[in-house]
Amino acid sequence: MNKSKYSDSQVMAILKQTDAATPVPELCREHGMSSATFYKWRNKYGGMDANIMAGLNELEEESRRLKKMYTEERLKAEIVQKALQKSGKAISAQRGGAGCG
C-alpha cells in the first residue's frame, strides 16, 4: 500500500476544516489533493480523533503483517506436502519393484 504524503494529524486537520464551512473543492485545491481522496478519508476517518486513528493504522499494519505470515506458512506447507507426495511415490515404486523379484 502506498504511503500517504499526509500525516494522521494533517488528515484530521483537513477533515475538521469542513466543520468550519470551508467548501470541499476549495479545501482540495488548497491542499493539492483530489476530492475523491477527501471523501475516502471522510468515510474512513470521519468522527475519529487522532488516538483512534493511530490505533486503526496499527491494526491495519498488524493485519497486513499477519496476512503475509499466513501466506508464507501456507506456501511452506504446500512445498512440504508436494515433497512428501514425491518421496512417497518414490518409496512405493521401490517397494513394488523389490517385492516382484
Spell out the domain ranges in the chain: 1-48
Q: Tell me which of 3.40.50, 3.30.465, 1.10.10, 2.50.20 is the CATH number of domain 1-48.
A: 1.10.10
Q: What is the pLDDT of residues 19-36, one digit of tens each?
A: 788 899 999 999 999 999
pTM confidence score: 0.52
Which residues, other chains included, contact 27 with Cβ-Cβ below 8 Å and sequence gap of 6+?
14, 17, 18, 38
Q: What is the pLDDT of residues 32-82, one digit of tens each?
A: 999 999 999 888 888 777 778 888 889 999 999 999 999 999 999 999 999
Classify 20 as helix, strand or coil: helix
H runs (alpha helix) in the chain: 8-17, 24-31, 35-45, 50-99
